[in-house]
Structure 1
Amino acid sequence: MTDQDAAPIAGLEWVSRRGLGALADKMGIEFTEFTVDRCVATMPVEGNTQPVGLLHGGAYVVLGESLGSMAANLHAGPGRLAVGTDINATHTRSATRGQVTAVCTPIHLGRSMTVHEIVVSDDAGRRCSTVRITNLIRER
């Protein structure tokens, strides 16, 4: 199903219909809140670690991109597509067990570009990584 086939919907139902993609599914990413202004998702540490047992830095980035890109596409609306053009992450702590929670908020929501910040925290609420993603919005 494409966005054009669906009636306008929002929130977690929109995410459910669109799907997160095979990589996000494999990593165990689950959205718990989803609006244009705030998206929240969780991801288990187990299964997404480096050989030394730390959550892989790339896993933080996949989680951040999953949130930021989905939020940008919700903002873009029907008939438009948001595609990532830049992403960066600063890792400040390592998660070793449990799950991490990511909170995505917009920095800029324009007609042709969005910028989102995603803060990823461990079970104790300590910030582990800060991801920033820029998406270009274009017509399909």
Structure 2
Amino acid sequence: MTDTDGASPEDLGAKILAGEEFDPHGDLAKTMGVEYLEASAERVVGRMPVKGNTQPYGLLHGGASCVLAESLGSVGSALHAGPGRIAVGIEINATHHRSATEGYVTGVATRAHGGRTLATYDIVITDDQDRRVCTARLTCMLRDAPPGRPGGR
């Protein structure tokens, strides 16, 4: 991760989307095909293919929806936390409203609370027909980044 001292959250979000800052995917999100479309401390948008992320009946796996939700909310939380700080997920819940069997699902994470030590995001996941597939909520603890780690000095 490059040094982000003095960078605004908007600049940091643009760097993340361009791949110039830390890689927001992590191994799991990369494996699942998560793509980030928009990133700011207030709102993060991303999508993920249904294909490759299904359970045995060919339906989008509920855990895959949680991975998308946590990925989006974690990026928003990291942007909210700012330079030299990290966001660590401490609680997620999800309600699965309907199945998806093809195409992409798109998630929109909107900040519900942004404090000094906690950030909470509401995440709505929809299918290609704009039907709600899942509603999730993620809370992240915000901490100073350990030296030598992404976000640290």
TM-score by length of 1: 0.94
Give the total of aligned pairs: 138
State yes or no: 1:96 paired with 2:98.
no
- Check if 1:64 corresponds to 2:66: no
Deviations 1:10-33 (A, max 9, x none): 224224221111111110100011
C-alpha distance 44-12 of structure 1, shift in aligned 2 (>3 A): farther
Match of 2:16 in 1: 14
SS in 2 for 1:10: helix
Residue 78 of structure 2 aligns to a residue in which SS?
helix
Gaps of 5+ in 2: 146-153
C-alpha distance in 2, partners of 1:72/1:98?
28
Does the alignment pair 1:81 with 2:86? yes
Distance 1:68 1:58 in 2: 15
- Amino acid aligned to 2:85: R
CA root-mean-square deviation: 1.2
| Distance in 2, Cα, partners of 1:30 & 1:93 | 22
Q: Distance in 2 between matches of 1:87 and 1:32?
A: 22
In the TM superposition, structure 1's runs of 4+ consecutive aligned residues that sit over 6 Å from their partners are none
Identical columns (%) = 52
Q: Which residue of 2 aligns with 1:107?
A: 112
CA distance in 2, matches of 1:48, 1:14: 24
Contact 2:4/2:12 (<8 A) preserved: no
- Tell me the residue number matched to 2:138: 133
Displacement after TM superposition at 1:116 (Å): 0.3
Matched, 1:26 2:31: yes
